[in-house]
Amino acid sequence: MKRILLHCSVGLALLVAASSVSAQTIIPPGGSPLLNAPLPPPLPEPKIAPPVVPKMDAPLQQNYAPLSTRLSFSDRITGCLQEGAAAGLGPSDREAYSRSCANR
């Protein structure tokens, strides 16, 4: 009986030792490709430009370009009504003339 108990206890000790040893896996150098993935390229450097500061004694630069060559709709209607009146059109004819004139 002692012999069976001794064999069972030795077998149980070997099973416990084998399970703890098998849980420790050794990764060889250069092993898993997932662990050795290449790093992404670095981000480009941000471009920082200093703001333009006007000089105290520099001459002012004026913009002489016209703002807009196209008149607003109300200005075009007013001009067309005046043209129709100058041409001697009646009120109903001026209305039709100004409508078609302003949409050109």
Output the pLDDT for position 19.
60
Angle (CA) 27 28 30, round 5°: 110
Nearest to 74 by CA among 45, 32, 102: 102
Count of domains observed in the chain: 1
Say if 12 falls within a structural domain. no
Q: What is the domain range of residue 91?
A: 72-104
Distance CA 69, CA 64 (A): 13
Say if 64 falls within a structural domain. no
2-44, pLDDT tens digit by residue? 788 788 788 778 777 666 555 566 666 665 666 667 889 999 9
Distance CA 17, CA 26 (A): 17
Say if 36 falls within a structural domain. no
Say if 82 falls within a structural domain. yes
Say if 40 falls within a structural domain. no
Say if 7 falls within a structural domain. no
Say if 20 falls within a structural domain. no
Say if 94 falls within a structural domain. yes
Separation of CA 43 from chain center:
16
Does the global pTM surpass 0.85? no
Query: Residue 49 above 60 pLDDT?
Result: yes
Output the pLDDT for position 88.
92
